[in-house]
Amino acid sequence: MSKLLIVGTVAFDAIETPFGKTDKILGGAATYIGLSSSHFEIDSAIVSIVGEDFPEAHLNLLTSHGINIDGIEIVTGGKTFFWSGKYHNDLNTRDTLETQLNVLADFNPVVPEAYRDAEFVMLGNLHPMVQLSVLEQVKSPKLVVLDTMNFWMDNAWDDLLNVISKVDVITINDEEARQLTGEHSLVKAARKIYAMGPKYVVIKKGEHGALLFNKEKMFFAPALPLEDVFDPTGAGDTFAGGFTGYLAQSGDITFENMKNAVIYGSGMASFCVEKFGTERMEVLKESEINSRMLEFKSLTQFDIELSANKAL
């Protein structure tokens, strides 16, 4: 069974969408990645940091999903990272209302001894210096995946470029890919990102799906058209969790298999947005995942015989 090492926030979120509002609930990139990847046959562990205020029930939720939490530091007297945000009506954009770094301000990640030989590493959205520190503690991973966001482009450009140069796959949203490269065309943006280091580029387009690029090859995974999107928080992390979880389980990191991985990523994300926060992911059943994968098949698979037009 492959080991998947995840670094990212384990945190509190307070979310407002057109459909409602939450108090402080469980959130954080590593939480979503962990819950999503827990549906695959892997040995996963989270490296993160929380304060004394973090409920044991939340930690128990992670362990009950088979996630090792030895790498989650609990700071006595400390307070957990907190983010609150409000989504606009179309749910595609949001305003950050408040960010309290708290214990995250002095986070020196320590990878547990047992996971330093992890074959798969998922560097969830965090300061690039923290991502880099985790990467340096891992011996010789088979595949390193990086997720990041525009905040680090604005505030830690050099560190970000440094960590980007050391990973195999980057997952990033479309506007961020444009910001990172100065290219509007995502095909051109991907090409510029290869030059920064990653051989594989995954560009997430929210409700418009995700693109996987590798050299001159492309693959597209749609988002599932939904009647209602309730709360997009964590969808990108959940995508990354499905993507890396599937790859870690299969052990196959070819482009062909990464196609399946982005479909799994998109499928897991389609559950995440159905309820507030981690609510949907906490109770997600394997049979539901399989049904959804069948929906993705019927949504995308066609059978054109290429003698169909005049050409042949």
The least distance separating a second copy from the CB of residue 286, rounded to whole angstroms, comes to 3
DSSP for 232-278, written as a single string:
-TTHHHHHHHHHHHHHHHH---SHHHHHHHHHHHHHHHHHHTTSSTT
54 binds a second copy (CB under 8 A): no
The least distance separating a second copy from the CB of residue 306, rounded to whole angstroms, comes to 5
21 binds a second copy (CB under 8 A): no
- Positions in 289-308 near a second copy (CB under 8 A): 289-290, 293-294, 297-304, 306, 308
249 binds a second copy (CB under 8 A): yes
156 binds a second copy (CB under 8 A): no
90 binds a second copy (CB under 8 A): yes
How many residues touch a second copy under the rule CB under 8 A: the total is 51
251 binds a second copy (CB under 8 A): no
**For 22-29, which contacts have Cβ atoms below 8 Å and span 24 or more sequence positions?**
22/276, 22/277, 24/82, 25/276, 25/277, 25/278, 26/58, 26/61, 26/277, 26/278, 27/83, 27/233, 27/234, 27/277, 27/278, 28/81, 29/124, 29/125, 29/126, 29/147, 29/234, 29/237
Q: Cα dist. 197→60, 78, 220, 265 in Å?
A: 37, 37, 22, 22
- Taking the least distance from each CB to a second copy, the nearer of 195 and 311 is 311
Residue of 100, 162, 179, 250 that binds a second copy (CB under 8 A): 250
- Positions in 159-188 near a second copy (CB under 8 A): 184-188
CA angle 153, 156, 161 (to 5 degrees): 70
- Residue 149 tokens read as 């966001």
- Taking the least distance from each CB to a second copy, the nearer of 21 and 297 is 297
User: Strands 143-147 and 120-123: what pairing?
Assistant: parallel
The least distance separating a second copy from the CB of residue 92, rounded to whole angstroms, comes to 11
Residue of 219, 230, 239, 271 that binds a second copy (CB under 8 A): 219
Give the residues lining the site for a second copy (CB under 8 A).
39-41, 90, 184-188, 205, 208-209, 211, 217-220, 222, 225-229, 246, 249-250, 256, 259-260, 263-264, 286-287, 289-290, 293-294, 297-304, 306, 308-312
